[in-house]
């Protein structure tokens, strides 16, 4: 097994093990201990640096990029599978527990119930409002025409669509 694949497996397994340590100890429910999860960052950096130093002698710059990508791909597949196992089998109420911890933190910070509920509810989905009639409605409005009127292909339509999506994104940020 090559060094990037081996490092990816080690990285993925250690991240999943640390996730389960956080789960079985209940640290993910504690607002202070929850920050220990971020210890995976130095772990990840250390393993990536170790692996790239091991492969540096025989690889070009592009080869090192490929080595890093292979390592990351292998680790990400393992971490994804571990996270799925963690949140669906081992701790199916994980997201509810996290939301309860966040609500408690906001209450202790002095935030009102209304602000907390507004902040914790999911945003409304954005719907694109079209100012041009649909093809079906234009065909119904003029039955004498042989084919429905197709929208013009211009940059104005794409700019208008971008503006609608930008509005939606800004509304969700607020």
For 77-105, what is each residue's pLDDT tens digit? 999 999 999 999 999 999 999 988 888 88
Residue 157 lies in a domain: no
Which pLDDT tens digit goes with each residue over 13-22?
Answer: 999 999 999 9
Q: Per-residue pLDDT for 65 more than 90?
A: yes
| Structural domains in the chain (count) | 1
- Name the phi and psi angles at 151, rounded to 5: -65, 150
Supply the range of the domain harboring residue 104. 3-111
Distances (CA, A) of 150 to 18, 51, 147: 56, 56, 9
Q: Is residue 49 part of a domain?
A: yes
> Angle CA(50)–CA(55)–CA(58) in degrees, nearest 5?
155
Does residue 77 fall inside a structural domain? Answer: yes
pTM: 0.66
- The answer to the question of residue 36 being in a domain is yes
Strands (E), the chain: none
Please tell me the predicted confidence (pLDDT) of residue 130. Answer: 56
Inside any domain, residue 118: no
For 115-129, the pLDDT digits (tens) are: 888 877 766 666 666
Q: Answer whether residue 169 is part of any domain.
A: no
């Amino acid at each position: 097994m090559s060094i990037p694949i081996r490092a990816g497996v080690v990285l993925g397994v250690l991240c999943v093990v640390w996730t389960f340590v956080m789960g079985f100890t209940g640290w993910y429910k504690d607002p202070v201990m929850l920050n220990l999860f971020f210890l995976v960052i130095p772990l990840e950096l250390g393993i990536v640096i170790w692996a790239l130093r091991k492969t540096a002698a025989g690889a070009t710059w592009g080869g090192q990029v490929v080595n890093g990508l292979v390592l990351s791909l292998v680790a990400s597949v393992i971490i994804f599978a571990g996270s799925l196992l963690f949140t669906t089998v081992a701790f199916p109420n994980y997201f509810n527990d996290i939301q309860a911890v966040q609500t408690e933190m906001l209450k202790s910070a002095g935030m009102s119930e209304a602000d907390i509920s507004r902040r914790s509810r999911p945003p409304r989905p954005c719907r694109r409002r079209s100012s041009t009639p649909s093809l079906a409605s234009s065909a119904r409005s003029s039955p004498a025409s042989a084919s429905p009127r197709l929208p013009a292909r211009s940059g104005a339509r794409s700019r208008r669509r971008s503006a609608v999506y930008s509005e939606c994104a800004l509304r969700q940020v607020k």
